[in-house]
Structure 1
């Protein structure tokens, strides 16, 4: 018997699914990675039990340069409508918001970057994914755009001083997180090289090698269990999610 089938969309090779892929496999997921800039996306989510969309340096509405973005938004919209669990990261979160009635814009006060903390909202205490996480978990920020208006059906789960809509849930199981949980020190180095204008927003010391190495150990301790809970959610039939374990409170 196979594992939980999860489609992982990588908009850019600059944001690969490792180490996330290892976390998914260890949790019992059978992850299929697709890079829409290089190969066709599945037409539907038939046969998949979860959808993960990662980040990239393009904007969520840059369809002229990246026409496949519309297809990614279509998959996200379909997943929310069909209650297929979604974990959308950074650009993925912006695509999720845009696909379900929210708005995305450049950040008015400039980019948010560095090894920072977010603050969970009170309602997140009852959420199946974020409920057990610390009140102020470690996250990696590296973005110049933000979700400025949440979709009508969204519940805000976490914020930061510079960016209010850090984590949200659309519908019953469509999760968007503006920050990164899937990075590694080497991947962050590649972002700094390709987008120095965003990297410059970090405070001194945040990009030091020793700091990044230590930070990613803490990042894994917090977010690997969240990914494990996501796989558990994806592997649970919709009707069984009515139980208290899987029913997030609005």
Structure 2
């Protein structure tokens, strides 16, 4: 089955993408819209998503992107978002947990506030969005929904840097398997974790608060992963036959030695 034919059943259905304003989230939104889906893209600031939505609408794509302002570290923001989606678009059929961040502080330096901030976005927000998306699916009789967790290679191995971020991503690895085991009890809702290595986005510059350093890292690499590469992997997983669950995808750039 090709991606094109596999995506036909998702036309006009609703996807929610967190962290949708830049990088991987932006690429995923664009790809889903290009296949006819109604995509709710959320982030703490919706200006960039509004701009992307306008650009996509000018291209005459079959789907549409709708920007929504939401901080996934805030429980009430998440509650309000799902209520708004239910009222205006019926509910969520595909949940893409892409929001996440890191900071440069070592384990010996990091403060409690920074740890809690990271946990609230990378872990707690992911769990709340997933549980509410699943509830939306089950209450509407949607038995072929799909959950995506944008994990990281840092959720499978340590490099010695961004160690608390790695701890949150190891949690995502465990949570993905935990959700899978709970979902198979009463549904055919699928869950897929995608774990990229180094991706050429703003993530590294934001984590280390140094754009030049991030660019120098990319320049030294033999190859890097592009956001569209990850979006293509998501499309492949989403378009696969309903009897197949692609559970955990590890993605390294060619030549990576860690």
TM-score, normalisation: structure 1 = 0.47
In terms of fraction of residues, the more helix-rich structure is: 2
TM-score (norm 2): 0.46
Relative to its length, the structure with more strand (as a share) is 1
Of structures 1 and 2, the larger Rg is shown by 2
